[in-house]
Structure 1
C-alpha cells in the first residue's frame, strides 16, 4: 500500500509506503519542532512534507479517535469507575472533567481582519482551541474539532452537546449506584461534568459543577473551589502530556 505525497519537480508523482508515512507522523508527534527541521530529518522538501503529514492525519484521525478516545468512554462508564475504584476523589458523581486548550498554528492567510479571530491575546500566538473531556483515569473520552481562538468555551461546549448529553445519561442499572452529589435532585438522570469558572452559565441546563467566582467568597465557597480544582487537575495533567510529551502545541 502506498500513500501519495504529491507531485515532485518535473511533474513525476512520488509516493511513500503508508507505513513509512505513519513512522514520519510518529516522529512529528513525538519530537515536535518546526516543519523545516522535521522535513530535513527525512530529506523531503518542506511543502511536500507538510502536505504528506497533514494529508495522512486526515486519513487516519477518525480511526485513531475511535480506537484511542471514543472507546475509552465505553470502558469508563460510571459503573466501571465505581467498581474499579477510579472515581473522582471529591466528586465521585462526576463522570469526567472538561476544558479547552490552545494549540499554536501558522498565521492564517488572508487579511488582518480574517486572521485576527485566530489570534490569542493570552498566548500572543495564532492558533486554535479544542475541547477535551478527561475521565478520572486521566484518559481522554472526547476531543472536538478545532475552533478559532475567539470562540467562547461555553459555545464550544454547546456545539458539542450531542456528546455531553449522551455520555452523561445514566445507563440501565446506574440508579443502583449511590449518588448524593450536587444537583442530583435537579438532574436525576445525569452524571456530573466538572468544569472551570468560565462555564458558570451551564448550571441552568446541565448538571455541571464549577468553582464560584468573586473576591469575597465565604470559607465554604473557597473550600468547595479547592475541592473542585483538586479533582480537575487531571485535565491539566492531560494537557501537559499532550503539549509537552508529544509537542502538539508546536505543530
Structure 2
C-alpha cells in the first residue's frame, strides 16, 4: 500500500540488536500493511524495499548508545586498557586488522562469529570478555575475518568494485584467516602454541583449520568453542521453515546485494 495524504498510524520497525523505533510512514516508499489498515496505536511489521539504507541510518541515530559510536580501540581505551593494532596478510591476499591488549599471562586469541567483528568481545563494557580477561592479566589478541568492518582490504582487490573480493565462505575464513592470525600471534609472542577462544562461525573456522591443515593442531594449546557450529546434518525441515519466514528478506537481499548487506551488518555490529 503506497503512502497517501490520509492520516497514518505510527509504524514501528524492529531490527535485530537495534530495538524498535518509530518512523514517519510518509518517508517509506513501500509498505506491506494488514488488510483493512491499522489503527493509530497499533504496531505492524513493515517490509521496506527501497529505502533500507536510510532506515538503518535513522534507526542507528535514534537508538545508538555512547559506546556504539566508538570503534574497538576507543572502547578498550575507555575501559582502562591500552591496545595495539597490526595488519595480518593472508596467503590469498586479504589484509586483516588484529588488535592486541598486552598482558603478563599466556597469549589468548579471540575470534568472532558470522557478520561480526572484534567489537563483539568488548561491546558489553566492563562485563565484556576482553575487559574481564584483561583485568586478570591475559595477553589478548583479537582477530577479524575478511569482509567485516576491520577486514575490507586486499593486496589487489577493491571490496567496492571487485566481486571476487566477496567470493569466499567460512572455509576460507578458517583455512586462511585464522591460520594467518595464529601464525602472526605465535611469531609475535615467540610461542609454539596459543589458546584460542572462538564464537559461533569462529568455531567453525577453527574446525575447518584443524581438519584441513592438521599441523595447526600443534599450534592451538586450548580451543574454547562458544556456541560451536560443526554439523548441519538432518536440518532440512528446520531450514525449510526458516526460509519461508525470511523469504521477503531473502528477496530483498538478492536485489540490494549481499555485499552491501554484509557491509551494513558489520557497521551496525550485528
TM-score by length of 1: 0.32
Whichever structure has more helix as a proportion of its residues is 1
